[in-house]
Amino acid sequence: MATWNKHVAIGEPAMTYKGVGNAIKAAFIKDPNTLAILEDMQFPEIEWFTDNMFERMIECGIAEQNGACVAAALAAEGFVPVLNNFLFASMSRAYNQIRQSILVDRFNVKFISREGVWGEVGVSHATVEGIGSLRNLPNLVIMNPADIVEAEKATEAMMQYIGPVMVRVELSPNPYTIFTDDYPFDIGKAYSLRDGKDATIIATGYMVTEAIKAVDLLEKDGLDVGVLNVCTWKPIDEEAIVAAAERTGAIVTAENCSDINGLGDAVACVLSENLPTPLVKVGVEDEFGQSGLITPEKDELMEHFALSAEDLAVSVRECIKKKERAR
């Protein structure tokens, strides 16, 4: 079995969204200026909010552009609005309103956005292109936590940060519990789960769980592979990415979203400017999300999009061969 760095203790799967809910509830208890902006959707810990903070919930209905403008107006008056929805709805439908009314003035609005390729919600709701369409927007911090612990800490950091932030919560199987409760989370900082010698998997969100599984598979081949967890996409931790490339000389990126303008492209840009390194991207390759069946025995979409630990292991071996050919 692979060994892991400090603050890493691989445990049973747990729902990432629960960690988001814990932090949101704590933030609302602490700050009376926080407000929930609903768009005909649930909200983290919705039953608790309905029972305890009904007066701080504003329902905008299926009118996401209006929801963004309401949030902007409230933020302009000193409130801290939190929107929760599928990413395609709250952010893509309201792209112009978010750009013009929130980001230009850097208003203190928070977004919890659900996205990812797994499950039966289909092409309309299981979007994969969301982060790629948002990465070039100024003044927006983007995070994609790997487990329940990081989700809670990232959401807590989002609520403390002054300015617009999005936390992406994936529609996926529950990831492993990866981090210990004393894991030191910082916006903009990646965290090395293990350092490795032969290659590094730079993963985000649920794909960190698949990276952990891939490490065990590759260890059987005698390969020592590191895992770098990138929760914050923007601003991205260039120093940690370059250090991983210096350490292993082979990089595989892993993301549960489109690999066009995704994590793989962001890492490639960092390396091309600082330390050109053999790289293989693992993600959704220029395709929409789909609907697929998940059972304990089979995950149709993981197979369809080639995002499993086995697929990651193949990509790592390919990248190591690239490194060897370049010598």
Domain spans, the chain: 16-170, 191-326
Which tens digit of pLDDT belongs to each residue from 33-68?
Answer: 999 999 998 888 889 999 999 999 999 999 999 999
Specify the pLDDT at position 128.
87
Scanning the structure block, which residue is given the tokens 């919890």? Answer: 112
* Candidate CATH numbers 3.40.50.970, 3.30.540.10, 3.30.230.70, 3.40.50.300; the one for domain 16-170: 3.40.50.970
Radius of gyration, alpha carbons of the chain: 19
pLDDT of residue 130: 87
Please report, as a single letter, which amino acid is at residue 227.
V
**Pair 237, 190: CB distance under 8 Å:** yes
Per-residue pLDDT for 327 more than 80? no
Of the pLDDT bands very low, low, confident and very high (cuts 50, 70, 90), residue 122 is confident
pTM of structure: 0.95
Give the burial string for 260-278 (b: 16+ CB within 10 Å, else e).
bbbbbbbbbebbeeeeebb
pLDDT at 279: 98
The more confidently predicted of residues 129 and 212 is 212
Tell me how many helices (H) and strands (E) the chain has.
13, 12
Percent of the chain with pLDDT over 90: 80
Check if the beta carbon of residue 42 is closer than 8 Å to that of residue 36. no
The answer to whether 16-170 and 191-326 have equal CATH topology is: yes
Band (171; pLDDT cuts 50, 70, 90): confident
40-59 burial string, b = 16+ CB within 10 Å, else e? ebebbbeeebeeebeeeebe
pLDDT at 79 over 80: yes
Q: Return the CATH number of the domain spanning residue range 191-326.
A: 3.40.50.920
* pLDDT of res. 297: 66
Query: What tokens were used for 247?
Result: 């350490």
How much is the average pLDDT of 322-327?
A: 88
Mean pLDDT calculated for residue range 129-135: 90
Confidence band of 153 (pLDDT split at 50, 70, 90): very high
The mean per-residue pLDDT over the stretch 299-316 comes to 91
| Contact by Cβ (8 Å): 199, 238 | no
Measured torsion, CA atoms of residues 85, 238, 179, 296, in degrees rounded to the nearest 10? 60
Residue pair 87/249 in contact (Cβ under 8 Å)? The answer is: no
Higher-confidence residue: 166 or 326?
A: 166
With CA atoms as reference, report the closest residue to 278 among 306, 237, 248, 301: 248
Q: Which of 266, 218, 216, 215 is nearest to 242 (CA)?
A: 266
Task: Count the neighbouring beta carbons within 10 Å of the beta carbon of residue 164.
Answer: 25
Give, in order, the Cα–Cα distances in Å from 165 to each of 62, 81, 281. 22, 11, 26
* pLDDT score for 292: 78
Question: What confidence tens digit (pLDDT) does each residue in 241-275 have?
Answer: 999 999 999 999 999 999 999 999 999 999 999 99
3-class SS at 176?
strand
pLDDT above 80 for 296: no
